[in-house]
Amino acid sequence: MIDFELPEFIKNQNQLIQMVAEQAMRPYSRDLDEHEHERPQAFVEMTWPFAQQMVKRDLKGLEIALNGRTGQNGNGAAKSAPTKPNYAILSLIMMIEQLSWGDAGQYLCLPHPMLGGAAIQSAGTPEQQIRFFKRFTEGEPKWGAMAITEAGAGSDNSSMRTTAVLDPDSNEWILNGEKIFITSGGLALEESDGVCVVWATVDPKAGRAGIKSFVVEGHTPGVTIAKAEHKLGIRASDTVTLHFDNARIPYENLLGSAEVRQKGAGTKGFKGAMKTFDSSRPAVAASAMGIARAALEFTQEKLAEEGIAVDYTKGTHELTAVERDLMEMEARHKGAWLLTLRAAAQMAHGQSNRLEASMCKFRAGEAVTWITQKAVELLGPMGYSREWLVEKWMRDAKINDIYEGTRQINQLIVARAILEYTRRELK
């Protein structure tokens, strides 16, 4: 029997997150949007203790898994494989949706490993995961980030030019290059003792096989913020350009093997790093769904005040154009949200979700863009004005159609998987 009932701890979490979204996010949305680069201090202070508990919960699971690698428990008896789904993944997806309903820009300032943590989980060893995640359980707020995109390497990450060269005398990696559009890059490396996972090539001639992931820790010499971006939306978020000038990284901060193999590079090389997107794309889709729900609910509320509400007992041909638009907004939102939950459920059950992650990311980005634009349209001049947050949600929405793989890239991934084409056969 399929059970759609949420676990009790997620229900309790949802109540807490809803309070944060209403009290520590929405009231500051407009001001933070109009004062870009100011930190959402109230949000950070309120969520840091909660974020610490989330990481502690994840750490407990990692330590159990690490102990289980020997095949024994504390009494020396053989361990059995876990059968329960990882509800922490569902918990995270639900939290992201609710926080983005509050304010997507502020959500991206959540003091948490975030994308950097996803990369460490995808390509790092259990020991590395435990070592880097532990810092997020103590002290002052800390952030995680991931640096992939370069000026000449956007959708095609294999063409990146940031290099990592091993210094045999010190046994350190020396990073040189520049990364752009890095979410929380400044928060992670300049304003806290956080971490940023940087993708770089150890052998430019080797192509994808030469690309590796390195954990750069906060306040590392040689790492500077070259630029803080001025953006259309999510203006409360920290988005920067990072410059690496002979930045020295400990050898053990390499995620996976340093070996370069042209074929069969293994799960810890470029392929392992790419697995990051299997978890980050459902997260982006969840954020999109939070923005879409905010716009949809607000539009329904304002139209209801004018006596306009959908009568679901009528046929489509009996509805007004506005009522049909509202129904279409609801349908697109529900469809994309169900795809997102499916991709998250597959992760929770330890199943591959490469196809579903791209499907939900593509559909959610498309849906939130259309829904928020339709909300502005239906609400007329007031929807376009800054008196309401609707125009802001429309601006915030568009990034979900771009980062973590553009709509076009995710369409390619879906098409290749369904049609069974290779990268060379379908470009």
- Catalytic residue numbers? 404
User: Do the strands 223-228 and 172-183 form a parallel or antiparallel pair, or are they unpaired?
Assistant: unpaired
**Lookup result for tokens 């949007």:** 33
- What the block records as the tokens of 147 is 């640096």
Taking the C-alpha atoms of residue 284 and residue 281, their distance in angstroms, rounded to an integer, is 5
Strands of 335-386 (E only): list them: none
Q: Contact, 140 vs 192, CB < 8 A?
A: yes
Q: What angle do CA 26, 105, 347 make, to 5 degrees?
A: 105
How many residues in total does the chain contain?
427
Taking the C-alpha atoms of residue 425 and residue 418, their distance in angstroms, rounded to an integer, is 13
Q: Contact, 346 vs 356, CB < 8 A?
A: yes
Q: Which residues contact 249 (CB under 8 A, 6 or more apart)?
A: 164, 172, 173, 174, 175, 214, 215, 216, 220
- What the block records as the tokens of 361 is 């990311």
DSSP single-letter state for residue 155: S
Q: Distances in Å between the alpha carbon of 258 and those of 131, 153, 202, 224?
A: 19, 22, 8, 25
Q: Checking phi first, is residue 307 left (phi over 0); if not, alpha (psi -120 to 50) or beta? A: left
Give, for 64, the enclosing helix (H) or strand (E).
helix 41-68
Q: Which residues contact 267 (CB under 8 A, 6 or more apart)?
A: 256, 275
- What the block records as the tokens of 274 is 């790419």
Nearest to 340 by CA among 367, 360, 315: 360
SS (H, E, C) 288-344: HHHHHHHHHHHHHHHHHHCCCCCCCCCCHHHCCHHHHHHHHHHHHHHHHHHHHHHHH
Q: Checking phi first, is residue 255 left (phi over 0); if not, alpha (psi -120 to 50) or beta? A: beta
